[in-house]
Structures are given as structure tokens and as C-alpha cells.
Amino acid sequence: MTTEGSGLVCPDGYAAIHLDDVGSTNAEALERAQQGAASGLWVVARRQTAGRGRRGRSWTSEPGNLYASLMLRDPIEDARLGELPLVVALAVHDAVATALPPFARADLAIKWPNDILYAGAKLCGILIEAAGMPGSRVIVAGMGINCSHHPDVALYSATDLAEVGYPTEPEALFALLSEAMARRLAEWREGSFAPLRDAWLARARGIGETIVVRLPGREVTGVFTGLDPDGRLLLRNDQGLETISAGDVFFGHS
């Protein structure tokens, strides 16, 4: 049964609903948008029964972690929407870094475009979805942050805050996340992408390293040289410099 509660902390201009069990916070946020909910709605759940990641992958969603989706209506002009995954990743990195003691923050990094890693293991996944609705374009950014447990995934290593020695309650982490997200989104809307891109690069893992990028139907290998002005990955190999808009990145040990 799904129940709805309150008590979550949000900055001005945002609202949050806290559900017990829900299929997917992203799906719930999209449904609320269809029902007329205002932009800036957070949907947070104790447990997801049909959580999913990119390319339809299932995602472990038992109680103890933070499952949250933010619904935005027309957040920025369409030409800049490709920047949003990196902005969201920055906000999540900010929130988790704040939850960690200063000496532990050096182990926190972003994997292009928006996975959050701790000591090389995945700590958070982010799924951004879009839907056209009458009069607006709706974007939903879903985040699953591992607070007390993590999935056993064959493709990569994963971890959680408790496992690395910094247990954090989901509600406390949400307060940090909602504040960081509001701050980064305001910075994004009110200025250029360039300073956010620089901030993302300062937190990135793998720049200057050889990586593998899995694309639909093929894999490419090369040196991760940085980002183009729009946030796309730049990969240099024997064929030259390739610009990649979407793909799964794997490092040497993956």
C-alpha cells in the first residue's frame, strides 16, 4: 500500500511528498506532473518495487537508501537540456560530500555523465527522463543513493555509505540533496554552463585515462580527454577525437 506523508525539508520553491512503497519515484513524479503538479516537486520513497536504471535495468530498492525524483517543467531552453545530467550529478556530489567528513571527500568522484563513485565503487545512480505534456516539457531526475546497502551488480562494483564507515539516514541526506539541487539549478539557470562544467571536471574520475565506452551496437576505447562546451565526453584514439553524447563508461579494472 502506498501512503503519503510529509516532514521532509525543502528549500523555498520546492515541495516534497514522502511515500512508503511506490513502483518507481520517476514514474510517480511523471504521473503527478500529468495531474497538474507544479514544477519543483520531489517524490521520495522508502522503498521502490519497480525501480529502474538506464536502458531499463532493474535497481535494488529496499528500505534504507534514498530514492528520490525531482520533477521540473521547462527547466531551461531545449538546446541546453543536455547539460542537466551533469548539473544533477554535481548537486548529488555536493550533498554526499557534505555528509562525509572532510578527509573522506577526496574518495568521492563523478563518472561521466552522472554516476557518483566512492573509492571507485558506485554509490549513486541517476536516471533522467523527459515527457512532453500540453504546454510544457517535463523532466524528471531520479536518484538512488546507497545509504545502508547496495546491489550486487556484475558490470561494476558498488558500495554504500554505511559500508565505507559513514552511515547516513535517508531523510537527513535528502535535506542536503534538496538544498544542493536548488543551489546548482539556480546557478545553471542564471548563468552559463562553463563554471558548472569546470566544477564537474574538478570532481571527475578518469580524465587522462584509457576508458571503454559502450554504445548501442559497439564499443569504443580511447583516452578520456575532458568535456566539450556542452558536456559531451571527448575521447581520443587512433581515429582522432570522438564526441560522445551518451554511453556507459568503464575504466581499466571494470
DSSP string, 177-239: HHHHHHHHHHHHHHS-SHHHHHHHHHTBS-TTSEEEEEETTEEEEEEEEEE-TTS-EEEEETT
CA 90 to chain centre: 8
- Which superfamily does 4-202 belong to? Bira Bifunctional Protein; Domain 2 (3.30.930.10)
Please tell me the predicted confidence (pLDDT) of residue 30: 96
Helices (H) and strands (E) counted in the chain, each on its own, are 4, 13
Q: Which helix (H) or strand (E) holds 243?
A: strand 240-244
- Kindly list the domain boundaries of the chain, sorted by start residue: 4-202, 210-250
Please tell me the predicted confidence (pLDDT) of residue 188: 97
| pTM, rounded to two decimals | 0.92
Q: What is the dihedral of CA 62, 65, 71, 77, to 10 degrees?
A: -120
Q: Are 225 and 234 in contact, with CB atoms under 8 Å apart?
A: yes
Please tell me the predicted confidence (pLDDT) of residue 253: 46
What is the distance between the alpha carbons of residues 232 and 152, in angstroms, rounded to a whole number?
A: 29
Please tell me the predicted confidence (pLDDT) of residue 53: 53
Please tell me the predicted confidence (pLDDT) of residue 162: 97
Please tell me the predicted confidence (pLDDT) of residue 130: 92
Listed as ranges, residues in the chain with pLDDT below 50 are 1-3, 55-56, 253-254
- CATH architecture assignment, domain 210-250: Roll (2.30)
